[in-house]
Amino acid sequence: MRIYHWVSIHSSEVVFFEVIKKLQINYKKAGHGGDKGWLISFGINESDPEWVEIEPLIREHKPVDRCETFFTNEEVLSAEYLRMIITYEHRYPQPESTWSVSHDNYEILCPKCHRFEQVENFQIKKEPVMKKNDFLTLIWTNAAFCTEEVLRILKKEQITGFEVRDVEIFKTTEKSKVIHQIYVPETAKPGLITHDGIQGVECSMCGVKRYPSHIRGVMGMKREALRNDLDMQRSAEWYGSGGTAYKEYFVSNRFVRLALENGWKGIRFKVVELID
């Protein structure tokens, strides 16, 4: 497991910038320079020796810090259950102009925290460009879509816990020939084990708690929360902030092995630790 940070600061943060140069960390510059300065971005792992000097600066200067956790294939294959993260996000659901306000394919559970449940098929403007990916999600939705070949293998191997839904081409009667939705109707029991003082925040309108996106390390779950007879299920807990709300996808080791054996792209996996 490695924890990676992609950090962005302004060149006016002189002390921070000087440390980056002193440590000879590779960085990228964006902007026009001059009086307005540059936006400086760089990547660093917490296991890198330079992290000892960079970490206090991040805490002090509070730059944009996008943290991510990456697991090795060995770590992934040794886990009973994992989170499936869809990495290829492509285009918007239709109708785009009104989708977040009112649309027939979902039921708004709360207009403030934007929790919703799907009730009808998604619509897309036109067939997606997959770019060698096997999975994708539409912007705003966290819905899972895959190619016909992936679907064929899932059915052949009798993967459980999902339904197949068509994807419709907006303003036509056509169905997509490129992707299908993998809809996961089953919900696990509540069982998130929080750490590092992370707590959910209750929505002031509906009272439902949302947790910040889990980006650091292993997610802990009570073993009793997950159904061991399903290869796919969604979390009971909601995650997100601001205008976003979503549930995590939990998948079995069997699902993950299929994904790695077939080299499926557009997804990756994060380890879930089951605690008795």
DSSP for 160-182 reads -S-EEE--EETTSS-B-SSEEEE
Same domain, 194 and 144: yes
Same domain, 91 and 154: yes
Same domain, 40 and 114: no
**Domain that includes residue 51, residue range:** 2-70
pLDDT digits (tens, 9 = 90+) for 146-191: 999 999 999 999 999 999 999 999 999 999 999 999 999 999 999 9
Same domain, 46 and 174: no
β-partners of residue 115 are 110
Site of tokens 């007879």? 229
C-beta of residue 127 within 8 angstroms of C-beta of residue 176: yes
Same domain, 194 and 234: yes
pLDDT digits (tens, 9 = 90+) for 181-226: 999 999 999 999 987 777 899 999 999 999 999 999 999 999 999 9
**CA 95, CA 276: separation in Å to the nearest integer?**
45
**CA 187, CA 234: separation in Å to the nearest integer?**
5
- Encoded tokens for 47: 């296991």
C-beta of residue 123 within 8 angstroms of C-beta of residue 160: no
Coil, helix or strand for 74?
helix
**CA 150, CA 153: separation in Å to the nearest integer?**
5
**Whole-model pTM above 0.85?**
yes
What is the residue-averaged pLDDT of the chain?
A: 93
Last residue of a domain, one of 70, 93, 113: 70
Same domain, 28 and 145: no
Same domain, 204 and 262: yes
Structural domain count, the chain: 2
Last residue of a domain, one of 20, 46, 70: 70
Same domain, 155 and 248: yes
Same domain, 42 and 156: no
Q: Which residues contact 23 (CB under 8 A, 6 or more apart)?
A: 50, 53, 54
CATH of the domain at 20: 3.30.70.120
Same domain, 19 and 49: yes
